[in-house]
Structure 1
């Protein structure tokens, strides 16, 4: 199984992990049992020169694979980001806040996923919102207060 993983080309780089590590393609053990074109075309004299050439070019192959990986990640990110719907809240809107972000409620399997509702009292263009409870008290930013404690203690 591990051999199969190392000798299968990745989608992002179009290279195998084995070739990026060692500079050449691996021969799968099954190719020795059955006659394959790669085994039939093997010439020991030419192999030494080709191996040295592969080792000289392995850094270039890795750099090319890194560039392809970056391009692949950019394409994949733009694909998923095209489906994101930006929501802008205006003062007066009622919203719920995800509990895993603020951790205001106890965190666990049976804990609620959302907390609130809160009312938006101030909104900026950069996605910053000031929230108040239904009674009108300002919702504290707990993680920010803990940071301040670290700086001023």
Structure 2
């Protein structure tokens, strides 16, 4: 089917030519022209069917993914871990998370101002993608 969708005709294998497949032997030029017109109609139909299957697959994939995604939000005072942004002075066995930090303020949906447990406030806000809940 993909070969037909790209080239508009069936694939002719070298073995079909060598051993004289019946559809290769019955080929004539006049019939090929009408056959090409029919094939173009079939190509449009095959293209529409492929688009329909692709859309159906993407919808199913989106439903599956949305089912597994869980919303996450933090409140002021929650303890969180922050993803390490720089690997400088870290080796491969270093933990990927640092903290715990306390959420001081919710700046926007998904953006938080953090401070250390010792009271130092971060200038850069933490994005929800870089935060994980901390369970003491």
With normalisation by structure 1, the TM-score equals: 0.56
**2:122 paired residue number:** 139
User: How many angstroms does 1:89 deviate by?
Assistant: 1.4
Larger Rg: 2
Higher percent of residues as helix: 1
Kindly tell me the number of residue pairs found equivalent between the two proteins: 121
Q: Which has the higher contact order (CA 8 A, sep 6+)?
A: 2
**2:129 paired residue number:** none
Structural RMSD (CA): 3.5
User: How many angstroms does 1:123 deviate by?
Assistant: 3.0
Q: Against the structure 1 CA distance between its residues 84 and 30, is the aligned structure 2 distance closer, same or farther, given a 3 Å change threshold?
A: farther
- Secondary structure of 1:135's counterpart equals coil
- Secondary structure of 1:115's counterpart equals strand
- Secondary structure of 1:121's counterpart equals strand
Does the Cα contact within 8 Å between 1:120 and 1:129 map onto a contact in 2?
Answer: yes
User: How many angstroms does 1:75 deviate by?
Assistant: 1.6
Higher percent of residues as strand: 2
State the distance in 1 between where 2:43 and 2:89 align.
49
Aligned counterpart in structure 2 of residue 112 of structure 1, from 75, 80, 95:
95
State the distance in 2 between where 1:74 and 1:109 align.
42
- Once the two structures are superposed, what CA deviation does each residue of 1:82-118 show, in whole Å capped at 9, x if it has no partner? 012222211111111233xxx2443976143223222
- Secondary structure of 1:82's counterpart equals helix
**2:4 paired residue number:** 19
- Secondary structure of 1:44's counterpart equals coil
